[in-house]
Amino acid sequence: MTQPRHYDLNHTSIWAKLHQHQRATRHMHMRELFAADPQRFQRFSLSLGPLLMDYSKHRITERTLELLFELADAAHLKDWRQRMRAGEAINVSEKRAVLHMALRGQAGDDFQVDGQPVMAQVLAVRARMAAFAEQVRSGAWLGFDGRPIRAVVNLGIGGSDLGPLLACRALRPYAAAQLDMRFVANLDGQHLAQALEGLEPATTLFIVASKSFTTPETLMNAEAARAWLLAAAPAEAVARHFVAISSQTERVRAFGIDPANMFEFWDWVGGRYSVWSAIGLSVMLSIGPAAFEDFLAGARRMDAHFLEAPFAQNIPVILALLGVWYNTFYRAHTHAIMPYDQGLARLPAYLQQLDMESNGKRVGRYGETLDFDTGPVIWGEVGVNSQHAFFQLLHQGTRLVPCDFIVPMRSHYPLDRHHEALVANCFAQTEALMRGKTEAEVLGELAGLDGDTLDMLLPQKLFPGNQPSTTLALDAITPHTLGMLLAMYEHKVFVQGVIWGINSFDQWGVEYGKQLARQIQPELADASAALAHDASTNALIAHYRARKAQS
Ligand SMILES: O=P(O)(O)OC[C@H]1O[C@](O)(CO)[C@@H](O)[C@@H]1O
């Protein structure tokens, strides 16, 4: 295949056709599309085992999808998908393969990096993780005073925190009751201090999770945690109470953790794609190796679907193309994630990193400036709480906000009628957002009012509707379905990156702030250091110094 060395999809006829199609169809209302086609749900929904995706509540027709599939073809999506699967260095700026799919692979899979098979090392680390997890879970792994581990504290940030944190919370019904799982990411000392509240050094295990093992937040927290342990324990206790997860053996050793207590992963795994690797150790400790395997199997199932299903039946591809439709052709700017499941409360945060660190870029993979809208602002909050907060804007504001509603059909906590009420709210929101409320309907509700009162109230009680949403209904939140869900979003982000010509696997944009923080920190500590920033930053540093001097 010959690939252009610069991005030109936005100058092709299919791009122009999509703009034209958007202009021609933008006044159509989904309410009318549903009225005109009793088969609309059947036409625009897909199932994969325990997952149902309803994408009928979108501003699309069959023609829209045809054009979007044409766009995917023009972007050589099938080739890029194959290149990722084959372990080619598609992370071009860092010259790395992108093989998170191998992390959930099984014996016999032929994943390769630079022509070398990788499954043996993946399975070897997974087996070591399982052996360790069994020891901790069974109480055979003892702390320095001979008692078993009762609390696990994961110290990591970004991809070394968000995935395991989300999975541990979401899969709490599967968790070992005897292990208290805690997560510390922030540099703010209160995060670690509060996480350690009530814990005993002798029964606490720390996981230092950092791919690079240079991330200052994680290393500062790890140093503080080690000091907390050593205030109560002899130096050799570190070996019983600290394990590391990293791709950097020497840095782990230099920190003082024996590489025998290190679980490795590799530079062909991006941090935000790493929950399937040793970074998932806290998840395995919590739910056990068998359930963790099921988590991987769910992701593997989604991988097979993504790699094999034709575009018209491909869940991640359709999800991605709908995002492109709104983002690039409707200029929607934002995308909301609404999980109707308390255990998925951190899903929006997880997807913020996955999506925005991957596709929040205005430069294409060959260094060219992209003059169209790329990755959206991802945000969201657990339902129904969000209904009582920002849904007003979704229903009656001025913004187009495509939403994902994620909801399990069965709860692990069948309290009276709670679950049915929760599901009712979820479905009701998607219906209200789609339908809206017409003037005739509002007039019916306001019967008896007239004059100024009616004039004032009528427009305020109208709901324009036509607000698009996808509903992702899972049979239940299980390790398997969570694996499917997260892998689905990974592939969605990949597809969008391909369409927009982005390398979704680097993150240069996070470096600059880190660089400046390294400069500013000593300037805060030394009141005599000369300041050469802009006037605002200089003044803020001076303000901090003054307040520090007073305290
Ligand atoms: O696992 P590490 O190397 O500590 O990195 C943590 C996070 O920091 C980032 O590099 C961004 O600052 C993320 O991409 C990554 O997930």
Same-domain status, 204 and 351: no
| Structure tokens, 101 | 């799919």
Q: For position 114, what pLDDT does the model report? A: 87
Regions of the chain where pLDDT drops below 70:
1-5
Whether 356 and 377 have beta carbons less than 8 Å apart is answered as yes
pLDDT tens-place string over residues 357-383: 999 999 999 999 999 999 999 999 999
Kindly state if the Cβ of 164 falls inside 6 Å of ligand 1: no
What number does the ligand 1 atom closest to the CA of 279 have? 1
Tokens representing 220 are 């500062």
Answer yes or no: do 365 and 403 share one domain.
Answer: yes
C-alpha separations of 225 from 165, 193, 241 in Å: 19, 9, 10
Looking at the fold, whether 256 and 315 belong to one and the same domain comes out as no
Print the SS3 string covering 152-178: EEEECCHHHCHHHHHHHHHCHHHCCCC
Give the nearest ligand 1 atom to 157 CA. Answer: 6
Q: For the chain, how many structural domains are there in total?
A: 3
Q: What is the DSSP letter of 54?
A: E
Query: Using omega within 30 degrees of 0 as the cis cutoff, is the peptide bond preceding 384 cis?
Result: yes
- Tokens standing for 529? 């250091």
* CATH code where residue 59 lies: 3.40.50.10490
Please list, in sequence order, all residues whose beta carbon lies within 8 angstroms of the beta carbon of residue 305, skipping any fewer than 6 positions away: 48, 314, 315, 316
Q: Is 159 in the pocket of ligand 1 (CB under 6 A)?
A: yes
Q: What is the pLDDT of residues 99-140, one digit of tens each?
A: 999 999 999 999 999 899 999 999 999 999 999 999 999 999
Residue 453 maps to a domain: no
The dihedrals phi and psi of 433, each to the nearest 5 degrees, come to: -65, -35
User: In terms of domains, do 231 and 317 share one?
Assistant: no
The CB of 158 under 6 Å from ligand 1? The reply is yes
Dist CA 53 CA 473 (whole Å) = 6
Q: What is the domain range of residue 528?
A: 512-549
What is the Cβ-side half-sphere exposure of residue 121, based on CA atoms within 13 angstroms?
Answer: 13
Ligand 1 pocket: which of 211, 272, 504 to mutate (most atoms <8 Å of CB)? 211
155, 507, 508, 515, best to mutate for ligand 1 pocket (most atoms within 8 Å of CB):
507
pLDDT of residue 3: 54
Q: Is 522 exposed, middle or buried (0-12, 13-18, 19+ CB in 10 A)?
A: exposed
Q: Say if residue 225 is in the same domain as residue 325.
A: no
Q: Are residues 237 and 269 in the same domain?
A: yes
248 lines ligand 1 (CB under 6 A): no
Write out the two tokens for 440.
């005739």
Cβ-count burial of 77 within 10 angstroms (0-12 exposed, 13-18 middle, 19+ buried)? buried
Does ligand 1 come within 6 angstroms of the Cβ of 215? yes
For atom 13 of ligand 1, the residue with the nearest CA is 158
Give the active site residues.
357, 388, 514
- Ligand 1 center to 304 CA (angstroms): 28
- Alpha-carbon dihedral angle through residues 167, 172, 175, 178, given to the nearest 10 degrees: 120
Residues 353 and 270 in one domain: no
Assess whether 358 and 273 both reside in one domain. Answer: no
Residue 1: per-residue pLDDT: 47
pLDDT at 31: 97
Q: What is the pLDDT of residue 202?
A: 98
Residue 75 one-letter amino acid? A
Among the listed residues 40, 67, 65, the one whose alpha carbon sits nearest the alpha carbon of residue 54: 40
What distance in Å separates the CA atoms of residue 94 and residue 532, rounded to the nearest whole number? 32
What 8-state DSSP symbol labels residue 114?
A: T
**Gap between the Cα atoms of 115 and 117, Å rounded:** 7
Residues 144 and 187 in one domain: yes
Pocket flag, ligand 1, residue 218 (CB < 6 Å):
yes
- Kindly report, residue by residue over 459-516, the tens digit of the pLDDT: 999 999 999 999 999 999 999 999 999 999 999 999 999 999 999 999 999 999 999 9
Which amino acid is present at 495?
Answer: V
Q: Which of 114, 124, 164, 130 is nearest to 265 (CA)?
A: 124
Q: What is the ipTM of this complex?
A: 0.98
